[in-house]
Amino acid sequence: MNIDIRLQVLEAIRDQGSVSYNTPSGAILTLLTKLTSEGNLVGVSEVYNLFSEARSANAVFVQERVPAKILNGYLLGLRQLDATAVEEWEAQNRDWSSRIKAKLSNPAEFERAVVDIEQAITAWINARNS
């Protein structure tokens, strides 16, 4: 993890409960949004790990929001997958978010899980369109 991200995590940990956000974990969620939209999947996991150690009472709350961050920031945002196709794929693969959350604490496995899901969606789109 580079020093800039480490400093941002420390600030987010410090800002836990800040009234500047509409949720107590707003600062860390904002950082996770930034990282997913940049495609820094390993960083998402590393940031979550540091946060969950420092603010364990909010770890599950944050973990539950990571799939939405991946969906919106990475798959639909950065990778620009078709939203309708992703929605249709999701309906047939309801466990995708559980798979992501299960790998969140291991940076390499988390990245692999997200990339695998992206590839599965892309293959599904290609098969549907052929």
Please write the tens of the pLDDT for every residue from 13-46.
889 889 989 999 999 999 999 999 999 999 999 9
Q: Where in the sequence is the domain holding 49, given as residue range(s)?
A: 3-129
pLDDT in tens, 45-95: 999 999 999 999 999 999 999 999 999 999 999 999 999 999 999 999 999
**pLDDT-derived band at 120, boundaries 50, 70, 90:** very high
Amino acid at 105: S
pLDDT at site 53: 95
Count of structural domains, the chain: 1
Q: Is the pTM of this model over 0.85?
A: yes
Question: In whole angstroms, what is the distance from residue 45 CA to residue 5 CA?
Answer: 12
Q: How many residues does the chain have?
A: 130
Average pLDDT along the chain: 95
Q: 101 is written with which tokens? A: 């959350």
